[in-house]
Chains A and B, each alone.
Chain A
């Protein structure tokens, strides 16, 4: 089942902050975050695992509420390069192999 992201779109001025949310109705093993610029491939940002482990870029922060099956991506002091579509990918790990179900996407535009 596809996770729901909010907001669907957000416009920021350079230097402003934003939070992107990802919500699932199923118990999750991990949440991944990716950014996709127009015409390009998705690029990895962050993984948050059940139990608190995180892997990702130093300048990106995120949280994972295991009880609520929700994750949030925090973009602070936004830069023009942050523009793109952000996807969360949720993983339930039922089979022992990674299978990501990607969310609906959040379009972010950072203007000067």
Chain B
């Protein structure tokens, strides 16, 4: 069974279009993340949800809107796509330990978005 899955794996679209990426985890984790990895392989966090609530919202254009219908799913909707949005988008999940400690993150296979 795949622990963290994403769909689609590849997405090619034109500027100005709206697209969505879906993520699901079957690990029973509390927290899910969206990362963007650009062409220089720089991996940067965009959003994080804990039990369906948004807890991290980095400086990301308003065109990006995450949504978590339940704690096993986290989707990313992107409006009015721009050339600079081309990247690989990774979903990840982890347990959350508020009392101390830190937990590994499990990454999905990634969605390669190409905007033409």
Where the two chains meet, the residues of A that have a C-beta atom closer than 8 Å to any C-beta of B are 2, 29-30, 32, 34, 36, 40-44, 47, 49, 53, 55, 85, 87, 89, 91, 93, 95-102, 104-105
Distance in angstroms between the alpha carbons of A101 and B42 in the assembled complex: 10
| Complex interface residues of chain B between 45 and 70 (CB less than 8 A to chain A) | 45, 48, 50, 55-56
Task: Choose among B55, B105, B106, B110 the residue with the greatest number of A CB atoms under 10 Å from its CB.
Answer: B105
Distance in angstroms between the alpha carbons of A85 and B35 in the assembled complex: 17
Pair B102/A29 contact, Cβ less than 8 Å: yes
Where the two chains meet, the residues of B that have a C-beta atom closer than 8 Å to any C-beta of A are 31, 41-45, 48, 50, 55-56, 90, 94, 96, 98, 101-110
Q: A96-B98, A99-B45 are in contact. Are A44 and B56 (CB under 8 A)?
A: no
Q: A97-B48, A98-B94, A98-B96 are in contact. Are A32 and B102 (CB under 8 A)?
A: yes
Collect the chain A residues with CB atoms within 8 Å of residue B41's CB. Answer: 36, 85, 105
Could you list 25 A-B pairs, sorted by A, with CB under 8 Å? Answer: A2-B42, A30-B102, A36-B41, A41-B90, A41-B108, A41-B109, A41-B110, A42-B43, A42-B105, A49-B101, A49-B102, A55-B104, A87-B43, A93-B102, A95-B56, A97-B56, A98-B48, A98-B94, A98-B96, A99-B48, A99-B56, A102-B43, A102-B44, A104-B42, A105-B41
Pair B107/A43 contact, Cβ less than 8 Å: yes
Pair B98/A32 contact, Cβ less than 8 Å: no
Q: Distance (Å) between the CB of B56 and the closest chain A CB?
A: 5
Identify the closest chain A residue to B100 (Cβ): A49
Identify the closest chain A residue to B104 (Cβ): A44
Pair B101/A97 contact, Cβ less than 8 Å: no
| Known contacts A32-B102, A98-B48, A99-B56; 5 further A-B pairs (Cβ under 8 A) | A32-B104, A41-B90, A42-B105, A43-B107, A105-B42
Pair B105/A44 contact, Cβ less than 8 Å: yes
Collect the chain A residues with CB atoms within 8 Å of residue B55's CB. Answer: 95, 97
Pair A97/B107 contact, Cβ less than 8 Å: no
Collect the chain B residues with CB atoms within 8 Å of residue A42's CB. Answer: 43, 90, 105, 107
Q: Distance (Å) between the CB of A96 and the closest chain B CB?
A: 5
